[in-house]
Structure 1
Amino acid sequence: MKNEVGDKIKSISLSGRKGIAWLIDPDDLDEITPERLELSAAQNIDFIFLGGSLIQKNNIGESIQMIRKYASGIPIVLFPGNSIQFSLGADAILFLSLISGRNPELLIGQHVNVAPLIAKSNLEVLATGYMLVDGGEKTSVHYISQTIPLPNHHPELSVATALAGFYLGLQYFYLDAGSGAPNPVNPKLIKAVKQSVPAPLIVGGGLNTLDKIKNAFLAGADLVVIGNGAVKSPNLLEEANTFLESLRVMAN
């Protein structure tokens, strides 16, 4: 089985290069023009994550076809809210275990449903510890997951949760405040997890301004995920990429 996406994320983490993923909710596909997708390819976005907490349209396959057509070359990574959000047309899947919650369906239940399909495919599997963090209000992912998020100002609890996932063998970690959260993950929490767990760290949720994105990167996020912010502010992906380029120049 290929490991191109996982190797790239690990390389980003080990080198300190950092990266950007654009999270596209298939329900928002009508708002995303071919020009926007073409621009994302020109801006060297590292990944496109595809998925959402509540999929109201059965258009995962259509979404992948559109991304392939207008943003060819960018790896497509499934970010599934449940086993229904699955397609063999993607490059990889974040195999998310919601280790911050106690809902067995999202710890292992949904995974059992889709595992036989993955075993028959060439889809790259990224074993990911998914951790919901309180972003200031309940978001759709909180309702769908039926779990209580980790507190945003008590890093020690998030560190302990991530360490437990690491010792269980999870290889990637995703801190998420939830789509549209008024408050992103606290930089102190990001820093604490990054310093404690020797694994690539993905951070998303509420990153709708350049300042918030900068704070996440500077705190230790290896890969920042930009979702609704990129839909509402078309220049946000370009601004984030420009900032990253400046960091890379300074590092050299």
Structure 2
Amino acid sequence: MKMNIYSGLVEKKLNARKSFAVLLDPDSVDPSSLNSLVNLSEKAGVDYFFVGGSLVLSTHLDEVILKIKELTDIPVVLFPGSPSQVSKYADALLYLSLISGRNPELLIGQHVVSAPVVKKSGLEVIPTGYIVVDGGAPTTVSYISNAAPVPSDKNDIALCTAMAGEMLGMKLIYMDAGSGARMPITESMIRAVAQSIEVPLIVGGGISDPEKAYRNCKAGADVIVVGNAIEKAPSLITEISNAVHSVKKETV
């Protein structure tokens, strides 16, 4: 099985190079309107497109991914909210286990259901420990998962959860405050988790300005994911990308 995306993430982490991923929800984008967004992302040096969402009601997941692939070489990584969100046209799949919750369906149940389809897809599968952090407002992922998020001020819970995920074999840790979070994950929590694990750390949810993205990277995030803010202001793609990629120049 190919490991191109994951090996690239590991190499970037070893070289203290930060990455920026634009999150696209198929329910919120129209394949015909992707041209300008993809073009802007390419000019800005975006590293990845993450595609998926907690609820994908549309039926054009394949179409969205194929359109992106037609327009750019930026890798497309699936960020699925359910077993149905699998497309063989993507480059990789974040195989998410909700390790911050206690819902067995999202720890292993849905993986059992999706395993044959995922195996057959030929996708690069990246086991990912998914940690939902309280962002100050109810989120779709918390509702769908039926699991309480990690309290925003409980760094010890977050770091122990991340450590457990890594020791269980997760290749990535993804901390998410959820789409439209009022309170993004604190730098102190990111720092505590980053200092406790060796695998790459992805951070998303509530990041709406370049300064916050920059501070998250300085705290230890390896990949910054932004979706909701970009839907409202696409020009943020360039600003946040510049902020994320500037951190590598200052890292010793």
Output the TM-score relative to the length of structure 2: 0.96
Deviations 1:83-124 (A, max 9, x none): 011111111000000000011111011111111122223200
Match of 2:242 in 1: 242
**What does residue range 171-186 of structure 1 map to in structure 2 within 5 Å?**
171-186=171-186
Match of 1:195 in 2: 195
Summarize the Cα distance change of 1:135–1:116 in structure 2 as closer, same or farther, 3 Å threshold: same
C-alpha displacement at 1:251, in angstroms? 4.1
C-alpha displacement at 1:144, in angstroms? 0.8
Match of 1:156 in 2: 156
C-alpha displacement at 1:166, in angstroms? 1.1
C-alpha displacement at 1:244, in angstroms? 3.2
Q: Is the 8 A contact 2:18 2:245 kept in 1?
A: no
Match of 2:233 in 1: 233
What secondary structure is seen at the aligned counterpart in 2 of 1:193?
helix
**Misfit runs of 4+, over 4 Å:** none
Match of 1:39 in 2: 40
Match of 2:27 in 1: 27
- Stretches of structure 2 that go unaligned for 5 or more consecutive residues are none
| Matching residue's letter, 2:62 | G
| Matching residue's letter, 2:61 | I
| Matching residue's letter, 1:154 | K
Q: Is the 8 A contact 2:213 2:244 kept in 1?
A: no
Q: Distance in 1 between matches of 2:242 and 2:118?
A: 36
Residue identity (%): 45
Q: Distance in 1 between matches of 2:100 and 2:242?
A: 33
Deviations 1:51-88 (A, max 9, x none): 00011111111111121122x21111000001011111
Summarize the Cα distance change of 1:200–1:245 in structure 2 as closer, same or farther, 3 Å threshold: closer
| Matching residue's letter, 1:29 | V
> How many correspondences in the alignment?
251
Q: Is the 8 A contact 2:17 2:245 kept in 1?
A: no
Q: Is the 8 A contact 2:22 2:225 kept in 1?
A: yes
Q: Is the 8 A contact 2:187 2:216 kept in 1?
A: yes
Match of 1:74 in 2: 74
| Matching residue's letter, 2:59 | N
Q: Distance in 2 between matches of 1:199 and 1:245?
A: 19
Q: Distance in 2 between matches of 1:143 and 1:241?
A: 30
Q: Distance in 1 between matches of 2:66 and 2:210?
A: 30
Q: Distance in 1 between matches of 2:244 and 2:83?
A: 34
C-alpha displacement at 1:194, in angstroms? 0.3
- Stretches of structure 1 that go unaligned for 5 or more consecutive residues are none
Q: Distance in 1 between matches of 2:251 and 2:144?
A: 41
What secondary structure is seen at the aligned counterpart in 2 of 1:29?
coil
Q: Distance in 1 between matches of 2:120 and 2:70?
A: 26
| Matching residue's letter, 1:50 | V
Output the TM-score relative to the length of structure 1: 0.96
**Is residue 218 of structure 2 the alignment partner of residue 223 of structure 1?**
no
RMSD: 1.4
| Matching residue's letter, 1:128 | T
